[in-house]
Structure 1
Amino acid sequence: MAVDPLNPPIDIVLVVDDSPLQRQHAVELCRKVGMAQVYEAADGAEGLLKLATLPHPRLVIVDLEMPGMDGVEFIHQLAKHHLPALLIVASSKDSTLISSVETMAQALGLPLLAALQKPLTEAQLRAALLRHRDTPGHYTPVTSPAPVASIAELAHAIVSRTISVHFQPKVDMKTGMIKGVEALARWQHPEHGWIPPVQFIPLAESHGLIHDLTLEVVRQAFEQAAVWNAHGLKLSVAVNLSPLLLNRPEFVTEVAELLNAHRLAAEQIVWEVTESSIVADLGMSLGTLARLRLKGFGLSIDDYGTGFASMQQLSRIPFTELKVDRSFVHGAHQREHLRVILQSALDMANRLKLTTVAEGVETMEDWRLLQASSCTLGQGYLIARPMAGDALPGWLREHNARLAELRA
C-alpha cells in the first residue's frame, strides 16, 4: 500500500511527564499500538532537548503540570522554535483547563491530535492516531511549505473549469438519511496537486476573482443537483457565500437566472454566510440577504459561535438555518462547558424554528450527543468526506447499510 507523503506513519514517540508511573503507562500504550521507538522525558526542558535529536515524523504526548518547564511552556517552545511534532495533551487537570490549552495549541498552529484527561487509554490513543491518518495534510513539516499558485493560474483554472466541486453529505440526526450536501470548491493544480481552499479562496477575494469563482461553483453545483433530481434524489445544496458578494446587487439576479436555467426550486438552495461577513457594509449586506430570502433561497449562519455578534445577527437577518462550528461539536461529550454551549445554541435555534446543522462530527460519541441534544442535521468525517458528485450514489448504497447503527 502506498504511503501518503503528507501523512507518513508515526513510529517515534516522546512521552513528557514528571510521573514515572504515568510515563510508564503511556509507554506501554504506545508499544501496544505499534510504536517502534518510544522515548521519555521528565519535564519540558528535557523533552525539548530529546525532541531536537529525533527524526521526523514524531509524536509527543505531554502532561501539563510538571516542575521546571510545564506542559504549557513546552508547547509554546515547540511553536517558537518551529519544532515539527504531532501533539497529544494528556493531563489530570480539569477539562476546562485542558480545553484552554487545546485552543492555545491550535491558535499557535500546532498539529494537535487530542487533548485528553488522564488516565490515557489505548482506545483514546488509537483514535488520535486514526485522526492523523484520516486527515489529509494534517502533518506538514515546516521546512516544506505548500506552494501557492499565482493569480493568473487561478483565473485560468476558473475559466477552464479546472476548479471542481465536491459535495459533503448532511444527514438527518434521527434517521441517518441523507438530506443535503455542502458544495465545496476544489482545485487540482497541474504541478502542485491539490491546492487547499484556504489558499486559493483568499487569493480570489483579494484579486477580484471571487465573483467568477463563486458563479463557477454555483453552476457546477446546480448542474449536479439537476442530475440528482432527474434520478429521484432531491437534496438541498449549500453554497458558501463570500462577504464580498453581499455588496453586489446583481448577484441575486445572476443566481436566480442560473436556478431557472437548471429548473431547480429556490428552496433547494441554502447560502451559507459567516456571521462576521455582514458587518462591513450592513445596509448592502442586509438588502442582498433579504432579496435572496424573497426569492425563496435558504440562508444559513455558518460557524455559529466563533464571532462576537452571533445573537445580534440572528435577530436582524432572516436565517433559516444555524450551523454550529465544529469547535463546539468535536469532543463536547468529554467537556461539560462545551456541552452547555452546544445545547444552549441548539435550544435557541429550535425555539426560533431554525434547522440546526452540526459540522465536524467525527466520532460516534459526537453523533450520540447531538442526537440527544435535538440537533437536526449532522455533517463530518463520521458520515462522509467531500466527494465528487458522481460518487454520491455509490457512497449512499454503503451508507444505507449503516443506518441501523446510526439510529440506535
Structure 2
Amino acid sequence: MPSLPLRVLVLEDHAFQRSVAVNMLQTLGCDQVFEASDGAQALALLDTIGTVDIALCDLQMEGMDGLEFLQRVGASGQVKSVIISSSLSADLRRAVHQMVALLGLELLGDVGKPLHSQVLAELLHKFIDRPVSQPEPASAVPLASETSVRRALAEGQLHAWYQPKFNLHTGEVCGVEVLCRWLHPTRGVISPALFMPVLERCGLLDEMLFAQLDQALTVQRSARAQGFALNMAFNLQAVQLASAQLTSTLKSLLTHHHTCGSSLTFELTESGLLEAPATSMESLVRLRMMGCRLSIDDFGAGFSSLQRLCQLPFNEIKLDADFIRNLEHEPRCRAAISSTLALGETLGMTVVIEGIETDAQRRELLALGCTQGQGYWYAWPMAGEDLLHWLQQRNDVSAVDE
C-alpha cells in the first residue's frame, strides 16, 4: 500500500470503533494518524500537533461532542476537511452537512457506521486529488460611489441583459429574465452586487426599472419582427410597489412600444412581501389588471408564507436555485420540488425552476414533472443584440433539421 501524505485525526468515544478506524487508516497508508475520545481531548491534541488534513468525526459523545468540536475548529482553521462517521439518522446527518458548510469547513463525505475500507480510501484520495484553490483576498470590494452610479444611470451605462427561460421538454424559449449590467467605459462589466445596493439606498430603483423597460421593450419589438414572441420578466423590489408612478409610467411605456401588459412578468422576492401594506396590494392588483404576470421569486429561500402566497395575486412560482443544486444528494429537495409543483398546479400557478446547470439536473426535473426552467445549462445572460442573434441562429438550425 503506497504511503499517503495525510495527517488524520480520529474523533470517536467508543474505544473499539476508534481502534478499528485508526488501524484502517494506517492500513490505507496515512502517514500520521492521531486519536481522541472526545472534542476537548481532540482540541488539546491539535494545540500540540498542529493542523490536520482530515478529521474523521463521530457526532454523539460524552463530554464535548462532535458538533461543538466542529464549531471550535471551524473558527480555528486547525482542520482542513471533515469526514462524518455517525450512526445518527440520515436527516440529522444532512443537517450536520449544512452546518459544516456554514462553518467554512470542507466536507469530504459521510461514511456512516460501520466503516468500510473502500469508501474511506475513496475519500482520502478525493482530498489528495482535489484542486488547490487560491485564497481570496481578505479585503472586500467596496460599493460603487453614489456619484458614479448616478452618472452611470444618466449616461446610459446600465444595460438590460437577458437570460432565457425555456421549456424543459422541447427546449423552446418561453421568455427571458431581464437583468441589469453596468458596462463601465474603462472598467468593463461591474457586478450588480456593487451598484444595486447604492441604487436602492438612493431611491433610484424606479429610474433604473423604467430605463430597463424601455430597452427591453425595444428588443421585444425586434424579436417580434423576427417571429419570436418573448415574455420579458423584470425584478421588482417590494418597496417599489408603494410608488404611485409605477403603473402609470408602465402604461405609458407599453403604449409607446405598441405592446400589452401580458407580455411582461414582474418577479418579487417573497421576503419583501411578508408585511405588504394596502398600497402594495393595490399596485399588485393593478399590474394584474393590466395583464402583467406576477412571479414570486426565490420561493423557498425566505419564509415561504403560504398564507401570503394565497392572499397576493401571483400566477407564477419561481423556485430557488438551492433546491436544484442539492437535488442529487438531498432527498428532501426532491420532495420540496414535487410539493411545490403540486402546490402550483392546485393554485393554478406556473412553476419555473431556476439554477439548472447540467443536463442531468434537467432530466431529473423532467422526471418530477417540471416543464419550465432557467439556468446556465441552457443559456447565460446576454446583451440585447446577442439575444436577437442567438434566437435567429437557433431558428436557422431548427429549419435545417426539419
Q: Which TM class, normalised by the smaller chain length?
A: 0.7 to 0.9
Residue aligning to 2:179: 184
Counterparts of 1:377 and 1:208, CA distance in 2:
34
Give the total of aligned pairs. Answer: 364
Say whether 1:245 aligns with 2:240.
Answer: yes
Say if 1:15 and 1:27, in contact at 8 Å, map to a contact too.
Answer: no
Counterparts of 2:393 and 2:108, CA distance in 1:
32
Say if 1:300 and 1:321, in contact at 8 Å, map to a contact too.
Answer: yes
Residue aligning to 1:373: 368
Residue aligning to 1:5: none
| Structure 1 pair 240–115 and aligned structure 2 pair: CA distance change class (3 A) | farther
CA drift at 1:346: 1.1
Residues 158-307 of structure 1 correspond to what in structure 2 (within 5 A)? 158-189=153-184, 193-307=188-302
CA drift at 1:125: 6.5
| Structure 1 pair 88–248 and aligned structure 2 pair: CA distance change class (3 A) | farther
CA drift at 1:301: 0.6
Range that drifts further, 302-311 or 337-346:
302-311
CA drift at 1:256: 2.0
Return the TM-score normalized by structure 2. Answer: 0.74
Task: Give, as a single letter, the amino acid of the residue that structure 2 aligns with 1:65.
Answer: D
| Structure 1 pair 346–247 and aligned structure 2 pair: CA distance change class (3 A) | same
Residues 85-104 of structure 1 correspond to what in structure 2 (within 5 A)? 91=84, 96-104=91-99
User: The residue matched to 2:180 in structure 1 has which SS?
Assistant: strand
Residue aligning to 1:57: none
CA drift at 1:198: 2.8
Residue aligning to 1:336: 331
Task: Give, as a single letter, the amino acid of the residue that structure 1 aligns with 2:318.
Answer: K
Task: Give, as a single letter, the amino acid of the residue that structure 1 aligns with 2:358.
Answer: T
Counterparts of 1:243 and 1:23, CA distance in 2:
55
| Structure 1 pair 191–397 and aligned structure 2 pair: CA distance change class (3 A) | closer
1:345-395: CA deviation from partner (whole Å, max 9, x where unpaired): 111101212111111122333222211222221112222222222223555
Say if 2:234 and 2:265, in contact at 8 Å, map to a contact too.
Answer: yes
Counterparts of 2:183 and 2:135, CA distance in 1:
18
Say if 1:304 and 1:310, in contact at 8 Å, map to a contact too.
Answer: no
| Structure 1 pair 51–185 and aligned structure 2 pair: CA distance change class (3 A) | farther
Range that drifts further, 180-189 or 343-352:
180-189
| Structure 1 pair 389–209 and aligned structure 2 pair: CA distance change class (3 A) | same
| Structure 1 pair 245–186 and aligned structure 2 pair: CA distance change class (3 A) | same
Say if 2:22 and 2:33, in contact at 8 Å, map to a contact too.
Answer: no
Counterparts of 2:236 and 2:294, CA distance in 1:
10
Say if 2:142 and 2:194, in contact at 8 Å, map to a contact too.
Answer: no
User: The residue matched to 1:332 in structure 2 has which SS?
Assistant: coil
For structure 2, list consecutive stretches of 5 or more residues without a partner in the other structure. 11-20, 37-41, 112-118
Residue aligning to 1:353: 348
Counterparts of 2:192 and 2:105, CA distance in 1:
19
Say whether 1:65 aligns with 2:65.
Answer: no
Match of 2:306 among 311, 318, 323: 311
CA drift at 1:226: 1.7
CA drift at 1:129: 7.5
Range that drifts further, 333-342 or 348-357:
333-342
Counterparts of 2:27 and 2:371, CA distance in 1:
41
Match of 1:327 among 319, 322, 326: 322
Task: Give, as a single letter, the amino acid of the residue that structure 2 aligns with 1:244.
Answer: V
Task: Give, as a single letter, the amino acid of the residue that structure 2 aligns with 1:236.
Answer: N
| Structure 1 pair 193–233 and aligned structure 2 pair: CA distance change class (3 A) | same
Counterparts of 2:387 and 2:97, CA distance in 1:
34
Residue aligning to 2:115: none
Task: Give, as a single letter, the amino acid of the residue that structure 1 aligns with 2:95.
Answer: S
Task: Give, as a single letter, the amino acid of the residue that structure 1 aligns with 2:190.
Answer: I
Say if 1:303 and 1:323, in contact at 8 Å, map to a contact too.
Answer: yes
User: The residue matched to 2:294 in structure 1 has which SS?
Assistant: strand
Bigger radius of gyration among the two: 2
| Structure 1 pair 286–234 and aligned structure 2 pair: CA distance change class (3 A) | same
Counterparts of 1:222 and 1:26, CA distance in 2:
63
For structure 1, list consecutive stretches of 5 or more residues without a partner in the other structure. 1-12, 29-37, 54-59, 134-138, 404-408
CA drift at 1:41: 8.6
